[in-house]
Amino acid sequence: MPDIVASNYPLVYFAERLFGSHARVDLPVPPDQDPAFWKPSFPAIALMQKAGLVVLNGADYEKWLPKVALSRLKLVDTSAGFKNSYIVIDDAIIHSHGPDGEHSHAGTAFTTWLDFTQAEQQADALASVAIKKYPGLKTEITHNLQSLQADLRQLDDELRRLVASNQTRPLFASHPVYQYLARRYGLNLKSVHWEANEMPAEDEWKNMQQLMKNHHAQWMIWESLPDSPITERLNSLGIKNAVFDPCANRPEQGDFLSVMRRNIENLSPVFN
């Protein structure tokens, strides 16, 4: 049975859908860490060195890759096919949250899968390499790819229809992770650097109020619901919350597809 290691949960989900019960798929990132800023432990490196395929997001996601000895023959860069469409971030700042410590979102935007057409391409890239590596699974993988891509197209259609009903509506995002989502679906979005469990400093509230003079947003999109005091203060400014979970790590409940469907449901009151 093939051993597959993936660098984030969306890729794990794609691999699990493609291989079905014909492969073991691992995500070596602990549940409380953001895979984008994770650094592999020695056991995680050993796991990847033994794997048949190591599935990568690309777009500067795996910053640990140059420091880890892995055979290039087993690496699958799933976003390489649309690298000319990567979004470059020019105005990133360094900040800190969670066990990952200080980090910056400078460089290339990496949440590529939030454009579901790009997610479809990433699944296709993985399937192509998997079929070459494991030709005996071609029929299974080809069939499962069609099913997965149909689900991703449905997500894309639903989100495009929803946003089209009020596409110019101004929005805030709590974190700069929605660049591809905003580009694909035409969101009128401005990002700040806030954490759901940390009350923003007074100067950050002042910056938001300054932004609101020209960007009259009534909704802020979060990766998870913020603490009540943050919600109450946002509400006092006329801003409500909506959660759109990028699902970079394995969810506590459901899977990639159910989380994305819930995300779209969460955006329904934003655009209706």
The pLDDT tens digits of the residues spanning 123-153 come to: 999 999 999 999 999 999 999 999 999 999 9
Q: Does position 97 have pLDDT exceeding 70, yes or no? A: no
pLDDT at 94: 54
What confidence tens digit (pLDDT) does each residue in 158-176 have?
Answer: 999 999 989 899 999 999 9
What confidence tens digit (pLDDT) does each residue in 217-232 have?
Answer: 999 999 999 999 999 9
What does the mean pLDDT of the chain come to?
A: 94
pLDDT at 90: 76
Residue 93: exposure state from Cβ atoms within 10 A (0-12, 13-18, ≥19) = exposed
pLDDT at 134: 97
What confidence tens digit (pLDDT) does each residue in 14-50 have?
Answer: 999 999 999 999 999 999 999 999 999 999 999 999 9
Q: Does position 91 have pLDDT exceeding 80, yes or no? A: no
Kindly indicate the confidence band of residue 89, based on its pLDDT and cuts at 50, 70 and 90: confident
pLDDT at 209: 93
The pTM of this model reads 0.93
Share of the chain above pLDDT 90, in %: 91
